Amino acid sequence: MNSNRVSFADLPPSLAAERQGPIAILKLNRPHKRNAIDDDTVIGIDAFFSALPDDIRAVVIAGEGEHFCAGLDLSELQERNIHEGISHSALWHRTFEKIQFGKVPVIAVLHGAVVGGGLELASSAHIRVAERSTYYGLPEGSRGIYVGGGGSVRIPRLIGVARMMDMMLTGRTYSAEDGQTMGLSTYLTEEGQGLAKGIELAQRIATNTPMTNFAITHALPRIAEAAPATGFAMESLISSIAQADPEAKNRLTAFLEGRAGKVKRPD
């Protein structure tokens, strides 16, 4: 067993967690099911993010095997009535809310299938790294169902309503390159390099002050959706809170004294 593998929470066999310093890595661990998400997995993800240790500064989500996640385990849908369906959807909403608006920034590392609920999970992360094997799809329309894990809210904010509508109505799939162009991923890597890139980004994010990371992940999306006057007021408040943080003052002093690097042209 990996010496870094620890019990962040009571996780089901469908999930595996380990840490690298201030970074936690959570892997979907049902490769024989293409990492399809069942109820136990959703509950486990909820428990993981609810009990995240205070010294963890960033999380990477990835998938074991050939795929990130092929979506909802459809075998659980057959006997579910309307009331049970609403409760099930609410469970996914609560869980993915703990990713999007949780303690720390989250990076999703994608490869192979990122389909249905898998794309809903990925869209709840703050940064998405895709390997070139990645492909995206929303096949719910052909299966007589509809997204239920927050996809109607999050995915159109990445690619627009019209494109998501087309994906659901026609079953159209997109390649990793298409996804990068239209905004489903933020980084595109060669095959097998996604996890290393995700960990590299997480380590960089972990060096930010917790207050800054909180402001970026919690306040920024809400400011962006607010009316301009409300957004400006929220921005002023958050900016003032962030710059008053003692760690921020130390970092500003280091910059002014020439002890911190400046922004440079990319290589």
Strands (E), the chain: 15-20, 23-28, 58-63, 106-110, 113-115, 127-131, 135-137, 173-175, 187-189
Query: Is 131 among the catalytic positions?
Result: no
What residues are paired with 18 via a beta bridge?
5, 25
Q: For residue 217, which amino acid is it?
A: T
Contact status, residue 69 vs residue 27, Cβ threshold 8 Å: no
Q: State the Cα–Cα distance between residues 153 and 101, nearest whole angstrom.
A: 14
| Structure-model confidence comparison of residues 244 and 134, the more confident one | 134
Contact status, residue 80 vs residue 87, Cβ threshold 8 Å: no
Do 15-206 and 210-256 agree at the fold level? no
Q: State the Cα–Cα distance between residues 231 and 143, nearest whole angstrom.
A: 40
Query: Is 140 among the catalytic positions?
Result: yes
Contact status, residue 110 vs residue 68, Cβ threshold 8 Å: yes
Domain 15-206 fold is 2-enoyl-CoA Hydratase; Chain A, domain 1 (3.90.226)
Neighbours of 260 (CB within 10 A): 11
Mean pLDDT of the 46-59 span: 96
The pTM is what? 0.92
CA distances from 190 to 24, 41, 137, 221 (A): 23, 28, 20, 30
pLDDT for the residue 77: 66
pLDDT for the residue 78: 63
Q: Which of 140, 200, 225, 247 is catalytic?
A: 140
Q: For residue range 60-105, list pLDDT tens digits in order.
A: 999 999 999 999 887 766 667 888 889 999 999 999 999 999 999 9
Q: Which of 18, 64, 79, 120 is catalytic?
A: 120
Neighbours of 233 (CB within 10 A): 13
Name the class of domain 210-256.
mainly alpha
What residues are paired with 189 via a beta bridge?
131
What average pLDDT does the chain have?
92
pLDDT for the residue 4: 52
Mean pLDDT of the 10-38 span: 96
Q: What is the distance, to the nearest Å, from the Cα of residue 219 to the centroid of all Cα atoms in its chain?
A: 17
Query: What residue ranges do the domains of the chain occupy?
Result: 15-206, 210-256
pLDDT for the residue 1: 33
Q: For residue range 132-172, list pLDDT tens digits in order.
A: 999 999 998 888 889 999 999 999 999 999 999 999 999 99
Sheet arrangement for strand 23-28: 15-20, 23-28, 58-63, 106-110, 127-131, 187-189
